[in-house]
Amino acid sequence: MTKDRKLIIAGNWKMNKTVAEALDLVAGLKRELANVKEVDLVVCPPFTALGAVAQAVLDSNLRLGAQNMSEHNFGAFTGEICAGMLKEFSVRYVILGHSERRQYQKESDALIARKAAAAHAASLKPIVCVGETLAEREAGRMENVLETQVRGSLAGLSKTQMDETVIAYEPVWAIGTGKTATTQQAQEAHAFIRRVLAGLFDEAVARRVRIQYGGSVKPSNARELMSQPDVDGALVGGASLEERSFADIVKNSI
Ligand code: 13P
């Protein structure tokens, strides 16, 4: 498959894996994926395993991502983690505005935009998540919701910063439900997001930005999803927790 944009496949482990389990999984992924050069590979363990995983991936093609960070750089924010702390563990990517955080922590587009700015200031690459709920899709509001989220969550970023930003389209109704968006639904949403990016920045930026699909990605649907012209990778939840399924997703995407 030839696409101008290099695929990026990331595992979002969410609140799973002790340090020992994380090291086990990474050892397996290193074995399985050592020869993969065609795809940028990222693992996003919980904060508590970042230090151990950072050491384990040093000599590999796996890059490290975090699942969230504070908009602030330091100070009295109990329980929060800032960009500088992530940098200590050689973290390269940070997932921002995941739908679970939008839902449970009530994260707003404006907050996500401030976090994205803070990530860039620390040379971390944000993976900014957007996606509609089932109710929004059924009410015919998908495009409206996506446009609002894209514009709001990327507000204030420069064109140069967009080259170091990844977007993840994750329809909320497809996350952890076993329901994958059809390839056509995914392609339509990705193409729409790219049009919004063209309006917000310019055509060239829109053509370069990588847009991942997330939501029940598994080995059996990875190939078809990745073959869509505007799908540039995957943000994988459940299937990233096991070496076999994550490795097969990667191999089936190449
Ligand atoms: P699942 O792959 O478990 O549906 O999760 C997707 C997701 O939320 C990745 O961030």
Q: Establish if 39 belongs to a structural domain.
A: yes
CA of 158 to the centre of ligand 1 (A): 28
pLDDT digits (tens, 9 = 90+) for 150-202: 999 999 999 999 999 999 999 999 998 888 889 999 999 999 999 999 999 99
Distances (CA, A) of 182 to 54, 64, 123, 126, 179: 35, 29, 35, 26, 9
Averaged pLDDT score across all residues of the chain: 97
Q: Establish if 121 belongs to a structural domain.
A: yes
Q: pLDDT-based confidence at 134, cuts 50/70/90?
A: very high
Our measurement of the distance from residue 99's CA atom to the centroid of its chain's CA atoms, rounded to an integer in Å, reads 11
Establish whether residue 170 lines the binding site of ligand 1, counting it when its CB lies within 6 angstroms of any ligand atom. Answer: yes
Q: What is the dihedral of CA 181, 131, 231, 89, to 10 degrees?
A: -120
pLDDT digits (tens, 9 = 90+) for 92-125: 999 999 999 999 999 999 999 999 999 999 999 9
Q: Establish if 184 belongs to a structural domain.
A: yes
Residue nearest to atom 5 of ligand 1 (CA): 237
Write out the catalytic residue numbers: 98, 170
Q: Establish if 2 belongs to a structural domain.
A: no
**Residues 8/43, Cβ–Cβ less than 8 Å:** no
Q: pLDDT-based confidence at 1, cuts 50/70/90?
A: very low
What is the number of domains present in the chain? 1
Which of 217, 175, 167 minimizes the C-alpha distance to 192? 167
Q: pLDDT-based confidence at 2, cuts 50/70/90?
A: low
Establish whether residue 235 lines the binding site of ligand 1, counting it when its CB lies within 6 angstroms of any ligand atom. Answer: yes
Q: Establish if 1 belongs to a structural domain.
A: no
CA of 75 to the centre of ligand 1 (A): 32
Beta strands in the chain (DSSP E): 7-12, 39-44, 62-66, 93-96, 125-130, 166-169, 210-214, 233-236
Indicate left, alpha or beta for 12 from its phi (over 0: left) and psi (-120 to 50: alpha): beta
Q: Closest ligand 1 atom, CA of 239?
A: 2
Q: Establish if 98 belongs to a structural domain.
A: yes
Q: Establish if 16 belongs to a structural domain.
A: yes
Q: How many CB atoms neighbour CB 19 within 10 A?
A: 15
CA of 175 to the centre of ligand 1 (A): 5
Residue nearest to atom 7 of ligand 1 (CA): 237
Phi, psi angle pair for 212, to nearest 5° = -85, 155
CA distance 49 to 44: 9
Distances (CA, A) of 109 to 23, 83, 127, 151, 161: 34, 19, 14, 8, 17
Establish whether residue 12 lines the binding site of ligand 1, counting it when its CB lies within 6 angstroms of any ligand atom. Answer: yes
Domain of 133 in residue numbering reads as: 7-253
Q: What is the CATH number of the domain that holds 187?
A: 3.20.20.70
Q: Establish if 43 belongs to a structural domain.
A: yes
Establish whether residue 70 lines the binding site of ligand 1, counting it when its CB lies within 6 angstroms of any ligand atom. Answer: no
User: 0.75 cut: is pTM over it?
Assistant: yes
Name the DSSP class of 34. T
